[in-house]
Amino acid sequence: MKGSDHYAVTTVVIRTIGRATLQRAVDSAHAEGYRALVVADGPFKPDIALPDGFGMVLLGRRWGFYGGMAANVGAALARTPFITFLDDDDEFLPGTGARFRADLAARRDTDIVIAGTLYDREITVVPDDGPRYATRTLCVDPGRGVVVGNVHMATFKVDLFARMPFLDQVPPGKDAHSDFYQIRWWVQAGHSIAWVGYPIYNMRPVAGGGNGRGGP
C-alpha cells in the first residue's frame, strides 16, 4: 500500500438498530474499500454476513442518543487515520471509495471532510438562516457553510474523538442534528474543514428501509 493510500484508510462505523437493509450497507462499505465496524444499538445480534476484517460490537441494550453512543464506541475502537459513519439504511455510492480516499490524502492538514449525500427524491432544506431550498444532493456547496440540512456523515481524523466525543444529548431546545452541532463546535475550536463537491452516500435507497427488530 502506497503512503498516500495508507494515510487515507478509513473505518466506517455502521450504526444499526436492526433494519433489514443492514446487509446492503455492509456490502457497500466492503465494495468501496472501507474497513467497517458494525455497532448494534439494541438487545440483538444482527443476522448478517461480515466480510473478513469487519467487526461487530453488541451494546446489549438500546442506548439511542441519536446514534452518538454507537458512534463513540466505534470511534474508540477504530485504528485507522480516518473514521466515518453510516446508518443501517444508507449505502455508499458505487465507485466513490477510491476517489474519496484520494481527496483525503490530498488534504493532510484537514481534520474534517464533508462529502455529499444523494437522495432518491427532492427534499426541502431549512438552514439556520436564509431561504429554504430544494435539492437531491446535500453537502456539495461549501458556500452555504455548516448549516442544519447540509451536513451528513462527515469523515473525521480519528484522534478528534479522544478529545471531544459525540454528545449523548442535543442542546436545549433542539430535537435532532447532534452530528451537526458537534461538527460546528469542532470548527469553532479551530479544527479545519474541507468539502468535496460530489456525493459518496446514498440516503435510504430502499423504500421503507425495513424495520427489523431494533425499531423504526
The per-residue DSSP string of 131-164 comes to --EEEEEES--GGG-S-TTS--S-EEETTHHHHS
Cell for 56?
461487530
Residue 111 lies in a domain: yes
Segments of the chain assigned E as strands: 10-16, 35-40, 55-58, 82-87, 91-92, 112-125, 133-138, 155-157, 193-203
Per-residue pLDDT of the chain (216 residues), as tens digits, is 444 567 899 999 999 999 999 999 999 999 999 999 999 999 999 999 999 999 999 999 888 766 778 888 898 999 999 999 999 999 999 999 999 999 999 999 999 999 989 988 888 877 666 777 888 888 777 777 777 767 777 899 998 877 767 765 555 665 556 677 778 888 888 999 999 989 999 988 886 544 333 332
- CA gyration radius for the chain? 16
Of 48, 46, 45, 42, nearest in space to 27 by CA:
48
- Please calculate the CA angle 21-26-28 and round it to the nearest 5 degrees: 95
CB-based contact 57:75 (threshold 8 Å): no
Residue 191 lies in a domain: yes
Domain that holds residue 68: 3-203
Q: What is the pLDDT of residue 120?
A: 81
Residue 213 lies in a domain: no
Residue 50 lies in a domain: yes
Structural domain count, the chain: 1
Backbone angles phi, psi at 59, to 5 degrees: -75, -20
**pTM of the full structure:** 0.85
Residue 215 lies in a domain: no
Residue 65 lies in a domain: yes
Q: What is the pLDDT of residue 167?
A: 62
Quick one: which H or E segment has residue 102?
helix 97-105
Q: What is the separation of C-alpha 39 from the centre of its chain, rounded to a whole number of angstroms?
A: 13
Residue 164's domain is classified under what CATH number?
3.90.550.10
CB-based contact 93:202 (threshold 8 Å): yes
SS3 category, 18: coil
Q: How far apart are CA 115 and CA 32, in angstroms?
A: 15
Residue 212 lies in a domain: no
